[in-house]
Amino acid sequence: MTAAELGRGLRSGRFSSAEVTRHFLERIDHSNARLNAFVTVVPERAMASARRADATIARGEGGPLTGVPLAHKDIFCTDGVLTSCGSRMLSNFVAPYDATVVERLAAAGMVMLGKTNMDEFAMGSSNETSYFGPVRNPWDGTRVPGGSSGGSAAAVAARIAPVATGTDTGGSIRQPAALTGLTGLKPTYGRVSRYGMVAFASSLDQGGVLAQSVEDAALVLAAMAGYDARDSTSVDVPVPDYVAGLGQSMRGLRIGVIREFFGEGLEEDTGLAVRAALDGYRAMGATLVELSLPNLPLSVPTYYVVAPAECSSNLSRFDGVRFGHRCREPRDLTDLYKRSRGEGFGAEVKRRIMTGTYVLSAGYYDAYYLKAQKVRSLINADFRRAFAEVDVLMGPTTPTPAFAIGAKVDDPITMYLNDIYTIGANLAGLPAISVPCGLVEGLPVGLQLIGPHFSEDRLLAVAHAWQRESDWHRRVPPLFA
């Protein structure tokens, strides 16, 4: 069942939240060793929350998500529960408060099952950089689930959690959604509060959701979105009723097909699956308009200057003094800093800190960081021009289906290129969603939709129209059906 279906069943009395929660806890216990999707499971806390949800429903109160279980990416602070960010640096950190996302979904009556594995500090595209080991794709255990929200994606795809939170800095919700056959939504920058979400790159990070269906994503976004005075980047704009707008007709919709996404690098069968989905929209009455975003190919080099620069600044707080990993018997303060950070951070995090420190250093700031921000403005301008002509942009989410574990881990540049279609939306702060559109040799393929700022309602309606006409989102990995 989807989260929406579970919610309807709970409100009708077909089953209780305690029964549903126990079911998912049993599935986690049975399957997590094969997937490594969860870092922490909280069965006692989950069952207590489920009993409270049942009492709420019995009083005739609560909402569409009351009593529905979920998993949180281990980058969101959770009061009294380990918040590790997939790193040795925070492998002993128990958060003293809830992130706004956690707080709001709890207020909606959702039941937290636990915290999911992730690339260390959200830095990765395959969920292989975690201190707790790689996550495995439920469709093929020898392949990656995508990253950095790979634990959340694997948990929902394997149906050991009905829905999960994620974060997206350069594609870290949409890319794993595509590789595991899920719906993955990255809202507009500022739509969802970042308070209590451990920062990687502050101008790019955005919380979102991984779900089985667009309806689920709409329900969860409605609960988690909205202004938060505790987050200086939160935008005070109304939150629409996302579910109410899902039944819109596609007749007259103008779809921009991004020419740059269908060139060299896109695997042929993946491209064919995406083209078939575009033909499906044409059959629904939409108009396809091929257009060019000439600066979009520069998004990867731009991102890998901006993001490491911000990461270098944000991660300076992890120094072995206040919280997190501390080396044993430091000789002096300098030794404490150097050994604590050297031991606490993994190779990819160190690579990005070093890159970021370099591009921000005297003599290189103008040559790299300032120039990257100028190119970022050009990319943003390309999107603005495109949305003057069309309502939504479409293309593939990833160039290929899931690749083998270990295939790219020693080649950072090849790994970075796996996010080539997703990074542009982050640089421009735009909402984007990935939905399943086919299988290639038994592995899922994703269709990406990008909309103007704060157009999540339209984006969800357009994505939902595809799911009314197809059943790719209903496919379950054979070993977990």
Q: What is the pLDDT of residue 362?
A: 86
Overall average pLDDT of the 178-206 stretch: 98
Q: What is the pLDDT of residue 31?
A: 97
Whether the CB-CB separation of 206 and 200 falls below 8 Å is answered with: no
Checking if the pLDDT of 481 tops 90, the result is no
pLDDT in tens, 352-395: 999 999 999 988 999 999 999 999 999 999 999 999 999 999 99
Overall average pLDDT of the 134-163 stretch: 98
| Pairing status of strand 111-116 against strand 69-73 | parallel
Which spans in 79-201 are helix H?
Answer: 100-107, 150-157, 174-180
Checking if the pLDDT of 293 tops 90, the result is yes
Name, in order, each residue with C-beta under 8 angstroms of 115's C-beta and a sequence gap of 6 or more.
38, 39, 40, 71, 72, 73, 74, 76, 78, 81, 82, 83, 84
| pLDDT, the chain, mean | 97
Hey, is 335 helix, strand or coil? helix
- Of 109, 117, 162, 160, the residue nearest 135 (C-alpha): 117
pTM of model > 0.85: yes
Whether the CB-CB separation of 39 and 83 falls below 8 Å is answered with: no
Overall average pLDDT of the 269-284 stretch: 98
- Spot the catalytic one: 31, 73, 87, 299: 73
Q: What is the pLDDT of residue 137?
A: 98
Return the structure tokens found at 129. 């950089």
> H/E element holding 443?
strand 443-450
Residue-range domains of the chain with CATH: 3-246 (3.90.1300.10)
Q: What is the pLDDT of residue 419?
A: 93
Checking if the pLDDT of 235 tops 90, the result is yes
pLDDT in tens, 151-174: 999 999 999 999 999 999 999 999
CA dihedral sign of residues 423, 432, 442, 133? positive
Checking if the pLDDT of 321 tops 90, the result is yes
- Spot the catalytic one: 31, 152, 172, 312: 172
Name, in order, each residue with C-beta under 8 angstroms of 132's C-beta and a sequence gap of 6 or more.
36, 39, 84, 86, 117
73 catalytic per annotation:
yes
- Spot the catalytic one: 148, 149, 152, 470: 148
- Tokens 């357009």 correspond to 462
Overall average pLDDT of the 197-215 stretch: 98
- Of 243, 222, 172, the residue nearest 422 (C-alpha): 172
- Of 213, 146, 227, the residue nearest 185 (C-alpha): 213
148 catalytic per annotation:
yes
Q: What is the pLDDT of residue 363?
A: 87
Return the structure tokens found at 462. 């357009």
Overall average pLDDT of the 29-44 stretch: 98
